[in-house]
Amino acid sequence: MPRTHLLTICLTLVFCCSAVHADDNDRTSAASAIATKRIGEDIEYLASDELKGRQPGTPEMKLAEDYIVQAFKDAGLKPGGPDDSYLQPFDVVNRRASHTINPETTYLNLTTPEGESLSLECEQQFVPMVYRETYALDDLPVAFVGYGINAEREHNYNEYRDIDVEGKVVVLIRGEPQQAKADSVFDGEDTSRYSYLQTKVDAAIEAKAAAIIMVNDAGRAFDDDGEDELASASQFGRVTKEIPFVHLKRATFNQMLQQTPIYTAVGNPLNSLEEIEREIDETLEPLSQTISGWRIKMAAEFTEVKMVTSNIIGIAPGQGDLADETIVIGAHYDHLGMGNYGSRSRDAGKAIHNGADDNATGTAAVMELARRFGKPTNAPARRIVFVCFSAEELGLVGSRHYVENPVVPIEQTVAMINFDMIGYLREDSLLMFGWDTAKVFDQMLIDANKDVGLTLVKPPAGFGGSDHLPFNSAKVPNLFFNTGLNGVYHTPDDDFEAINVPGATRVIDFSAQFVEKLRTIEQRPDYQQIAQSRRSSKGVKLGIAIGVDDQSGRLKVERVLEDSIAENAGIKVGDQIMAFNGRTNVNSHRRLSREIKRGAGKVVQIILDRDGAAIVLELDLKTP
């Protein structure tokens, strides 16, 4: 063959191959763009104001439910719930309205210094909080304690220092002094732990108060609509220690102050809360004093309210010898609604918490993987059960319910993959909790990442607090994909506009590669127990794995071992350590280890931030 003909043929072949590769790249890019658009639309709808934060028990949660069910149907999944339904219903206590008040046995009566009796109107002038289920207190004296703060060690500020409140009803203001001052010792304009109701409750109990009456601070009362709104009975959740607790209208307390003012250090009378707040802000000195002559009778009775919500379950059947083995792919689709419970924002209860990252992104991942794996396969492959869990924000309730009531026996479940907050991919870094719950996971994850190119971050002995944990307790190998905490977590600012949708798509693409390997490998993964937590130098094992929260900088509990000191004390995954053994600067592993060493052989106190509430627990560090 002439050389010119050979050259022409070679050039033609090169051109044809280049064209084929170009076509392949174009098709890949087009498919990725379509997937990104589809995933973005899912996140945007689930995080829209129309769904009002997807709180269980609301009509808007039903809209989310309908949307996911339709996606499962369109993907070709079979129903996984009872009665040929995609829904697995269960009861849960609604923390937004977990208790109703029995009006016949609930009252708050005031007796003035002149002996006049005033009966206040429940839910108009006051609301009893569920900080104690049933109580009746008769003819108690009253004391005012400012904001009800004891920050003696940290700020030399203690509103209980110079007053005896034992057996008295204490009246305190919500929030903390100097809330609008950037240079305030109480964390500037940010909310410090002394603003938390649990911290105030603990201080009142330590001072031996008989009950608490709280009034709104001016900011919360008048920020938006000018109304001094009372909370619902269940708005602030439950606490670890119980005390009768009432939320009172500012106007009612101002009426008391008109008759019996609070006096400054130089004897000037303050006849309103506005004057008191201004005085404390300016001087940062307590104004605590007995409200002479006033007496209080108060009682409350509550009835627990439950609601029905549902996990959403769709099944892609397996094929061949592997068909009876199951992979669970899950994410929670609920969020905080208006943020009455669990919000980190001062706007709690007033603004929609859309939960775009937490967890519309994870829900979108489950729906997208259902589309990719929902069609029958001809090759041997494991069954995949897709689950969108409800009531995760209420304590992993939906995932616990599934593990206790699986649609296929839990012993046939070979792995669980959980998605929670995958919308903030930064520097290509993907956190993979549970990567070491099966020996084969590590290499499989590396192989799945070859064409995606993420930076796979493997937290040492870390789990993170989400719906994979009940599966881990059942000894099912599990993975939790997460792109890390962010500043908008559990606030009204967790909106769609900030989501890195192409980044979430890359996480899903990587996950799809891993799922494809997982559903076809011949040998099922074997669960392996993760290594025990670190010891202090005296051998005390708390039984926790610790990370650092990106926003607060505090140590955060990522794992709690069964039957450990931590579990027995009530520590939970997600808790942030605010203080340990009386010290507040335990913000590193070294400092925590030092405090554990100091406390060895004793019972010490730990203060935790749990979803915005301060929790005080006792740890028994007596080494066996």
Domains of the chain, earliest start first: 23-94+308-518 (3.40.630.10), 99-304 (3.50.30.30), 544-620 (2.30.42.10)
pLDDT grade for 567, boundaries at 50, 70 and 90: confident
The predicted pLDDT at position 373 comes to: 97
State the Cα–Cα distance between residues 591 and 142, nearest whole angstrom: 42
Q: What is the mean pLDDT of residues 528-557?
A: 65
Lowest-confidence region among 50-64, 69-83, 177-191, 585-599: 585-599
Q: What is the mean pLDDT of residues 96-114?
A: 84
The predicted pLDDT at position 6 comes to: 47
Q: Which residues lie across from 413 on neighbouring strands?
A: 326
Q: What is the mean pLDDT of residues 323-339?
A: 95
The predicted pLDDT at position 13 comes to: 44
Alpha-carbon torsion (578, 580, 584, 586), positive or negative: negative
**pLDDT tens digits for 406-435?**
999 999 999 999 999 999 998 899 999 899
How much of the chain exceeds pLDDT 70, in percent? 87
Is it the case that residue 389 has pLDDT exceeding 90? Answer: yes
**pLDDT tens digits for 287-322?**
999 999 999 999 998 877 788 999 999 999 999 999
Q: What is the mean pLDDT of residues 325-348?
A: 87
The predicted pLDDT at position 532 comes to: 41
Contact 276, 241 (CB under 8 A): no
The predicted pLDDT at position 507 comes to: 97
Lowest-confidence region among 125-134, 509-518, 531-540: 531-540
Region of 427 on the Ramachandran plot (φ > 0 left; ψ -120 to 50 alpha; else beta): left
Q: What is the mean pLDDT of residues 92-101?
A: 67
Contact 602, 622 (CB under 8 A): yes
Q: Phi first, then psi: what are they for 411, rounded to 5°?
A: -70, -15
**pLDDT tens digits for 174-225?**
999 998 888 888 888 777 888 888 889 989 999 999 999 999 998 877 644 5
Joined tokens for residue 504: 């979430």
Residue that has been written with the tokens 């949708």 in this structure: 501
The predicted pLDDT at position 25 comes to: 59
Contact 610, 578 (CB under 8 A): no
Neighbours of 225 (CB within 10 A): 8
The predicted pLDDT at position 297 comes to: 96
Is it the case that residue 586 has pLDDT exceeding 80? Answer: no
pLDDT grade for 98, boundaries at 50, 70 and 90: low
Lowest-confidence region among 90-99, 145-154, 473-482: 90-99
The predicted pLDDT at position 24 comes to: 53
Residue that has been written with the tokens 């590590």 in this structure: 442
Joined tokens for residue 363: 């829900």
* Mode of pairing for the β-strands spanning 99-101 and 289-304: antiparallel
State the Cα–Cα distance between residues 355 and 611, nearest whole angstrom: 15
Higher pLDDT, 348 or 72: 72
Is it the case that residue 555 has pLDDT exceeding 70? Answer: yes
Closest CA to 352 of 130, 38, 46: 46
The pTM is what? 0.64
Alpha-carbon torsion (224, 225, 229, 233), positive or negative: negative
Q: Kind and range of the H or E element at 37? A: helix 3-46
Q: 3-state class of 583 per DSSP?
A: strand
Lowest-confidence region among 33-47, 48-62, 349-363, 558-572: 558-572
Neighbours of 216 (CB within 10 A): 22
State the Cα–Cα distance between residues 134 and 99, nearest whole angstrom: 12
Region of 430 on the Ramachandran plot (φ > 0 left; ψ -120 to 50 alpha; else beta): beta
The predicted pLDDT at position 100 comes to: 76
Amino acid at 261: P
Is it the case that residue 20 has pLDDT exceeding 60? Answer: no
Q: How long a stretch of residues is the chain?
A: 624
The predicted pLDDT at position 45 comes to: 98
Q: What is the mean pLDDT of residues 261-278?
A: 95
Helix ranges (DSSP H) in 217-293: 218-222, 250-259, 273-283
Is it the case that residue 133 has pLDDT exceeding 90? Answer: no
Residues in CB range of 38: below 8 A, 6 or more apart: 368, 371
State the Cα–Cα distance between residues 537 and 273, nearest whole angstrom: 51
pLDDT grade for 3, boundaries at 50, 70 and 90: very low
Is it the case that residue 521 has pLDDT exceeding 90? Answer: yes
pLDDT grade for 95, boundaries at 50, 70 and 90: low
pLDDT grade for 37, boundaries at 50, 70 and 90: very high
The predicted pLDDT at position 539 comes to: 45
The predicted pLDDT at position 130 comes to: 79
Is it the case that residue 129 has pLDDT exceeding 50? Answer: yes
Lowest-confidence region among 25-34, 180-189, 346-355, 450-459: 25-34
Closest CA to 435 of 525, 557, 556: 525
**pLDDT tens digits for 441-471?**
999 999 999 999 999 988 765 566 799 999 9
- Measured between alpha carbons, how far apart are the two ends of the chain, in Å? 90
The predicted pLDDT at position 10 comes to: 46
pLDDT grade for 241, boundaries at 50, 70 and 90: low
Lowest-confidence region among 50-54, 290-294, 536-540, 586-590: 536-540
Is it the case that residue 530 has pLDDT exceeding 80? Answer: no
pLDDT grade for 282, boundaries at 50, 70 and 90: very high
Rg (CA), the chain: 28
Contact 382, 326 (CB under 8 A): yes
State the Cα–Cα distance between residues 33 and 25, nearest whole angstrom: 12
Please give the mean pLDDT across all residues of the chain. Answer: 86
Neighbours of 412 (CB within 10 A): 13
Is it the case that residue 5 has pLDDT exceeding 60? Answer: no
Lowest-confidence region among 329-333, 584-588, 605-609, 613-617: 584-588
Higher pLDDT, 273 or 487: 273
DSSP-assigned letters across all residues of 386-404: EEEES-STTTSHHHHHHHH
State the Cα–Cα distance between residues 67 and 61, nearest whole angstrom: 10
The predicted pLDDT at position 14 comes to: 42
Alpha-carbon torsion (91, 95, 97, 100), positive or negative: positive
